[in-house]
Each structure stands twice: as structure tokens, then as C-alpha cells.
Amino acid sequence: MSFRTSSVRVALGAAILAGNGALAHAQRGIPTPASILGFEPGADRHLPSWKQITDYFTALDKASPRVSVRTLGKTTLGRPFLVVFISDSSTLANLEHYRQIQRKLMDPRLQAAGERQKLLDEGKNVILVTSAIHSNESGGFTTPIVLADRLARAADPEARTILANTIIMLVPSQNPDGVDIVGDYYRSTLGTPMEGRDPPNLYHKYVGHDDNRDWYAFTQPETRYTVDSLYTPWDPEIVNDIHQQGSDAGRIFIPPYMDPVEPNIDPILTAATNGLGMAIVWRMTNQGFTGIASNAAYDQWSPARQYSLYHRGARLLTETASARLATPIDIPFDDLRPARGYDPKTVTWNFPSLWPGGHWTYGDIVRYQTAASWALFLDAAQDRRAWLEGYASQADRAMAAQPAWGHDAWPTAIVIPKTQPDTQALKRMIWTLQHGQVEIRESTAPVTVDGKSYAAGSYVVLTKQPFGGYAKTLLEHQAYPNLFDYPGGPPKRPYDVTAHTLPLIFGVDVAHVTGTAPATGAVLKEIPEPTYTSPLTGKSAKRIAMFRPSATEPIDEGWTHWLLDTYKIPFTTITEKDFTGASLNDRFDAIIFPEGVVGGGGRGGRGGPPAASTTDVFAGLDTFVKNGGTVLAFNTASTAIIDGLKLPVKNALAGVRNNDFYAPGSILAVEIKRDHPIARGFTATVPAVWFENGPAFEISDSTQATAVASYPATGNPLLSGWLLGGTKLNGKAALVDVKHGRGHVVLYGFRPQYRGQSMATYPLIWGAILQ
């Protein structure tokens, strides 16, 4: 197949087109990517290291006035985190001027009378490119090099249009550590049977593939760099989020997304995403690209993945088919498989041209990603003014009578009392909201909601504010629609989880005000993030271990590691070999089993990892508990340990079909036995757990096992998200303390440390270790 977009041809074309002497002079010193990397970007079996990538952008910055590189900070493992600004040199020389225009369009309160037309005339369409947040999606850290080279070098009309009308903020990798974790493993396994496989460790120290689920909780420094230095000062009109998917369906996914659409997203952005996505499909099809799918697999529900959809920016997720990292693969047409929303062997409106099958390379990935990004840039540039008008309209709607769209009236405000059962959780909630550009004020008089009075000086979030929809999303209970694959069929799997209600997962009380908004003072300054402490912080009263299999590292293990490090709780990681030989009781008092480390069911990135071989582990564990040790088993790990240690507890949901019970990431009500030692630190007024495809327990021997948390005996336990068949949980236990010999096994039928967010249930972890 031949394409007219190869970087070699573009470079030649640019040289021919550069008739202007000054321009030709400006471009003469621009280094080629190959001169820095030592190979062409996208060459088979050549992944660039993070040093090669930063060397390239540093050299390009020096050589091109259209490129300005900034280091935003150090990553989790100490690498530089980069952003590359690309625009006309005159725009780059006046970036602060254009940022001010962007701010004024974002917030009408900042505009002088009659100023708007000038802002619309003069402003640029700001585009953020977040590439390679997932480090095994390796095209993502090569495509930015090709894009930057082309924009720095080219003098053709398309490039000039892009440079004149846009400001591109290019993040060459949203996870630089992973570029080397994956790349080093790839280079060390070249020529072996492991070539092209993912490494055994998470490609982000703590969160692995979940690093793109952090866009409202901001737990990781990499998320914070992009939010603090790019989103917050700029609130870009468009985000180009470059990803890869599996190998055996379409060649690339481009929006529109599948349903559902989260109802607080301004419809301007849904329409903008749909329109721009279809324009990209059209341009790429013109150029001969095939196998392009839309309205497939990916939905528009969670702010965890799509911060920009709540901050004025269309999010154009692209997902290109993977090879085996940089190693080519062959996929005959007959081996292509149906995906969610289309069949790659059948032409449909959302899959207009068939890919014929065959050889698929790293270079193909880079070509698809580059073509999609270029088409995005070009449409954004050509329609600059319409994008800015839509952007300003969103701002007007956010500050006008509500609802600006939809049917149901919005609350006018949400009150957050300053007296809360957990002060750290309150501070974290205020910090989290403010970090996402939510304005927090204080009431100037008492506020009465549903007969309850809240003192003057309470925190107040007005929904009429620039990002009021975002605040509302995070502070209300989600009502996920009941969607099925077909009438009478199984539930339609959401792309990710279905709930994100901060008051429930943090354990903070709030009250929604309808009618007249409370009187408030000025916007408060951002408070600092609290210093997190627990009864175990910094102490060695208990010797804690966490188990992970040696062959793989499930994401939940990473999140648990993050939790313990964040709370400064010392622990030791142990693997299978620690269960043979010396007594575990001599070394540890408690061992944590995160989800997925035994029994499968955990999230380990693409495909999911094999769990540990468990015979030795369970034998050693049985002895450890009988001799007085404590085991904590999170979510699906609990059922494996029930079987392995033959505990008198059953999973009431074993074998139940999705049609009869389904909860793919929801917040459920529980009743807590507050006088139990495990629950003594639990403070939330509305007890809630993060339920995600977990078990629910029935106790067979109540002399040995005690329910510490249970689902209500009647009614629907759903508080936020999606739950089918909720009555199956009635009276079942969510948290069980099992006496086993002289020790305890504590079974969690939920994720007590869900993605570093479920603060309300952290005390159930501390309590189990300390009991």
C-alpha cells in the first residue's frame, strides 16, 4: 500500500515548497529525527528511549523558532516531564498574550464591554496533544516526533494554516517512566520468545494502565503537571488523546463515541467531537486509509478519563491497532474479529472501508496516528473562529440560567459543612475540587436545606460558575442508564466504571440547594492538599507485607502500594518464594492481598495477567493465619482465599449471570457494625463501598465469621452508578472477619482503596491490620 503522508515525502515536499529564502534558511538547521534517534521514527524493532526523545525535542527547540520545549517537573521515577509548544514563531513569542485571550473567552466575567469580537478575531485554537499515557501503546511516543518534525520543517499551505491558527501543546508522553520501562524490556528481549511482550512490572510505578483514570482525583504527579501547567492556564478547545487498541479489529477508532453521554457535558462538546471526528475520518479516507471505526467501544461517561469534556475541550480519543510493540505482525482478513459496535469484515456507516488484512507494523501505527492528528490540526485551524465561538458560548451557558441544556433543574448550590466526621477527607475534597478549577466560596448567612441548618461560613459551590457542571458531576449521585446489548440481552458493558461521587467515596456530607442560591462571599484561595495520616503512619507497631506474584503486577497492587506510600506506612513486598522456608509469622503480622494477585479477575492492563500459582502460597498462608497472623483480601482476591483456606464463607454471586446481577463499578450502601474493632475508625455518615464485579458473602458458620459490613436487608442498595439485580445483595455481607486458628482473615467484597479515592473505607484497612 502506498500513502502520500510518509515523513520522507513530506520532508522532500517541504524542501521543494520552501521557495521563500528566509524560510528556507530558517529550516536549514533543523535536525532530522533520524539524526538524533539513530533510526527513522517508526522503524521496525526500534523503540526510542526517553533520553532519545528528550534529546530530539531539545535539539528541535534550539533549531526552530516554531518550537518551544518546557520541562514541567520530574516524573514519579525522576525523569523530566515535557511539553512542546508549537505555533508560528510570532505566536510563541507572545504566548502570554494569547493565554489572556483564552482566559477571557473561558470566563465572560473577565471580558471588557464590547471586547468579545476582538478576542474571537485574534485568539488561537488551542490544542493539547496527550500521547502515550499507556506505554505499551508505543506508537504514541513516536508520532509526536513525526508531527513536530513536520510542523517545524514544512512550508506547505496546510502547515502554514495550522501554525497560523493554532497553538499546539504537545505532550510527547504522558508517562515518560513507562517509555523506558517498556522500551528497556523490549530491547532486552529482542530476538527472544518474549520479544514484543509487555514487561512483568507495571509501566507506571503505582498505577500502570489506570494512569488515564486519574483526571479528577489527580493522585499522580504526571496528571498534575498536565492539569496544573496546561489545562488550568489554557483550557484548550481540543484534546487529541493518542492511544492504541488490540490488533484484530479496526485499524483505528475515531469518535463519535458510543452511548452513554454523561448528562453534565455541554452538548456543544458532544457535537464538536462528533463533527471533528467525522471530518478526520473523511480526510483519512480521502488519503486511502482503511479500517476506520467510529461509534465503537469507547463511551463518554467518566470525568476520570475525560477532564476536558467538563472544561470546554472536545476530546478526540484515537485508538490505533497495535502490533507487538515495535515488532510487526500479520493478520489475515479472515482472522479479524467483531468489535463492540462494528464488524471489521462488513462495511457500515461507522466502518466505511475495509482493511484487507495482512502485514501490520510499527510504522503503520505511526502513519495512522500522524494522519489522524494532522487532519485534526487542519480542521481545527480552518475552523478556528467557529471553535472559539463555541468555546465562548459554553462560557455564556455556564454563567446563565440553568439548566442551559437538558430537562431537569440543576441545584443552585451545594453546601459542604465545615464540621465533618473526617477533616482530612473534607480538606481533600475541597482541594480536589479547587484543583479542577471549581470555585469554592463561604456562605455569609446560615443555609437551610431540607429542614437542616448549615452555619454561616460553610463552604458553598455555586453551580453557576465556569465549571459548575464539573462540580455538579463530582458532587451528585450518578444515574447510569440501563443499557443492554439488545432487548432481553446482557447489559451493555460500560467502557469503564459508572460512578464518581466524591462525597460518598470520601465520606463527606454535602447538601444540594434548590431554589435561590445562598448568599456567599468571594472565591476562596486554593487550600493546600492535606498531609495524609492514619493510625499506622510512620509506626512499626505492625509488620505489614503485601503479596504480588513474581510474574506480573496487577494494577490493584500498584494502587495499594501508592496508598501505603502516601500514608507513609512501611511495608514489605513478598512473592511466592516467601511462602516456603522461614516462618512468615516471624517476619509479619499482616499480609495484604490486593485484587488480582491470586485467583485472577484483576486488572493488569491489556489482557490481564495470570495470577500466581497458589498451592504453596495457600499452604504457607494457612499456617501464617493459624499461628496468629492477619490476612486482608481485597475484592476478587477474597474468593480465591476463601477456597484456598477453606473458610466458612460463600460468595452468593458465584455463577450468577450478568443479566441477573451487574455492578461494573458503582457505589453501594452498606450498614456498618461500628462497634467491631475493624470498624472503629469508620466515620462516614452515609456508609458506602466501591463495588466492582465483586463478591457478596454468606456466612456458613457464625461462630467463626462475623459480618462487619452488610448490604441492607431490603431495598436497592445502589447509591451511585449502575446496579442490576440489587436485591440479590439484600442481607449479604460486604466485609467479613473470619477467625482461623489464632489469626484472622478479613474479606473485602469491594475495593477498599479504589484508585486511591475511597477514603471513606480506608479506616477498614487500618482497623483490620490493628485489630
Q: Is 211 helix (H, G, I), strand (E, B) or coil?
A: helix
Single out the segment in contact with Zn ion by CB under 5 A; choices: 142-150, 243-251, 339-347, 509-517: 243-251
Single out the segment in contact with Zn ion by CB under 5 A; choices: 236-244, 308-316, 577-585, 741-749: 236-244
Mode of pairing for the β-strands spanning 743-748 and 733-740: antiparallel
Report, in Å, the least distance between residue 212 CB and Zn ion.
6
Report, in Å, the least distance between residue 733 CB and Zn ion.
36
Amino acid at 34: A
For the beta sheet containing 314-321, the strands, ordered from the edge strand earlier in sequence to the opposite edge, are: 67-74, 80-86, 166-171, 125-131, 238-245, 314-321, 252-253, 292-293
Q: 620 Cβ partners below 8 Å, 6+ apart?
A: 578, 579, 580, 584
Site string for Zn ion, 136-165 (x = CB under 5 A): -x----------------------------
Question: In the complex with Zn ion, which residue's Cβ is closer, 5 or 212?
Answer: 212
Question: In the complex with Zn ion, which residue's Cβ is closer, 70 or 606?
Answer: 606
Question: In the complex with Zn ion, which residue's Cβ is closer, 134 or 324?
Answer: 134
Alpha carbon separation from 689 to 216, 239, 425, 758 (Å, rounded): 19, 33, 15, 8
Query: Would you say how long the chain is, in residues?
Result: 771
Question: In the complex with Zn ion, which residue's Cβ is closer, 257 or 454?
Answer: 257
Q: 102 Cβ partners below 8 Å, 6+ apart?
A: 123, 124, 126, 234, 235
**Site for Zn ion contains 204 (CB under 5 A):** no
Question: In the complex with Zn ion, which residue's Cβ is closer, 130 or 753?
Answer: 130
Rounded Cα gap, residues 283 and 296, in angstroms: 19
Residue with cell 486511502: 288
Determine if the peptide bond prior to 260 is cis (ω within 30°): yes
Report, in Å, the least distance between residue 335 CB and Zn ion.
22
- Interior angle at CA 132, CA 130 and CA 133, nearest 5: 75
CB 715 within 8 A of CB 670: no
Report, in Å, the least distance between residue 526 CB and Zn ion.
30
Single out the segment in contact with Zn ion by CB under 5 A; choices: 148-156, 239-247, 274-282, 572-580: 239-247
Question: In the complex with Zn ion, which residue's Cβ is closer, 14 or 304?
Answer: 304
Question: In the complex with Zn ion, which residue's Cβ is closer, 134 or 384?
Answer: 134
Residue with cell 516526533: 145
Question: In the complex with Zn ion, which residue's Cβ is closer, 134 or 744?
Answer: 134
**φ, ψ at 668 (rounded to 5°):** -120, 145
**Site for Zn ion contains 512 (CB under 5 A):** no
Report, in Å, the least distance between residue 177 CB and Zn ion.
16
Question: In the complex with Zn ion, which residue's Cβ is closer, 134 or 367?
Answer: 134
Amino acid at 467: F
Q: How far apart are the first and last CA of the chain?
A: 66
**Site for Zn ion contains 243 (CB under 5 A):** yes
DSSP, res 331: E
Question: In the complex with Zn ion, which residue's Cβ is closer, 130 or 710?
Answer: 130
Site string for Zn ion, 282-321 (x = CB under 5 A): ----------------------------------------
Q: Please, which contacts does 441-446 make with residues 24 or more away whose CB atoms are closer than 8 Å?
A: 441/520, 441/521, 441/522, 441/523, 441/524, 442/520, 442/521, 442/524, 443/415, 443/518, 443/519, 443/520, 444/518, 444/519, 444/520, 444/521, 445/518, 445/519
Report, in Å, the least distance between residue 137 CB and Zn ion.
5
Report, in Å, the least distance between residue 230 CB and Zn ion.
19
Report, in Å, the least distance between residue 713 CB and Zn ion.
42
State which of positions 2-31 bind Zn ion (CB under 5 A): none
State which of positions 439-478 bind Zn ion (CB under 5 A): none
Which of 134, 384, 441, 744: binder of Zn ion (CB under 5 A)? 134
Question: In the complex with Zn ion, which residue's Cβ is closer, 134 or 500?
Answer: 134
Question: In the complex with Zn ion, which residue's Cβ is closer, 140 or 277?
Answer: 140
State which of positions 650-689 bind Zn ion (CB under 5 A): none
Question: In the complex with Zn ion, which residue's Cβ is closer, 243 or 367?
Answer: 243
Single out the segment in contact with Zn ion by CB under 5 A; choices: 141-149, 237-245, 344-352, 672-680: 237-245
Question: In the complex with Zn ion, which residue's Cβ is closer, 139 or 518?
Answer: 139
CB 619 within 8 A of CB 578: no
Single out the segment in contact with Zn ion by CB under 5 A; choices: 43-51, 147-155, 238-246, 718-726: 238-246
Report, in Å, the least distance between residue 131 CB and Zn ion.
10
The alpha carbon of 252 is separated from its chain's Cα centroid by a whole number of angstroms, namely 20
Question: In the complex with Zn ion, which residue's Cβ is closer, 134 or 472?
Answer: 134
Rounded Cα gap, residues 597 and 719, in angstroms: 29
Q: 141 Cβ partners below 8 Å, 6+ apart?
A: 47, 48, 53, 131, 132, 135, 172, 173, 179
Report, in Å, the least distance between residue 462 CB and Zn ion.
36
**φ, ψ at 588 (rounded to 5°):** -135, 155
Single out the segment in contact with Zn ion by CB under 5 A; choices: 25-33, 60-68, 123-131, 235-243: 235-243
Report, in Å, the least distance between residue 72 CB and Zn ion.
21
Single out the segment in contact with Zn ion by CB under 5 A; choices: 126-134, 310-318, 496-504, 576-584: 126-134
> Which residues are registered as beta bridge partners of 693?
none
DSSP, res 664: E
State which of positions 47-76 bind Zn ion (CB under 5 A): none
Report, in Å, the least distance between residue 144 CB and Zn ion.
15
Among residues 463, 460, 454, the alpha carbon closest in space to that of 412 is found at: 463
Q: Where are the alpha helices (DSSP H) in 410-460?
A: 423-435
Report, in Å, the least distance between residue 171 CB and Zn ion.
14
Report the sign of the C-alpha dihedral through residues 233, 234, 235, 240, in that order: negative
The DSSP H or E segment spanning 105 is helix 95-106
Single out the segment in contact with Zn ion by CB under 5 A; choices: 34-42, 132-140, 499-507, 730-738: 132-140
Single out the segment in contact with Zn ion by CB under 5 A; choices: 242-250, 310-318, 329-337, 640-648: 242-250
# residues near Zn ion by CB under 5 A:
3
Report, in Å, the least distance between residue 138 CB and Zn ion.
11
Report, in Å, the least distance between residue 361 CB and Zn ion.
19
DSSP, res 229: I
| Residues found near Zn ion in the complex (CB under 5 A) | 134, 137, 243
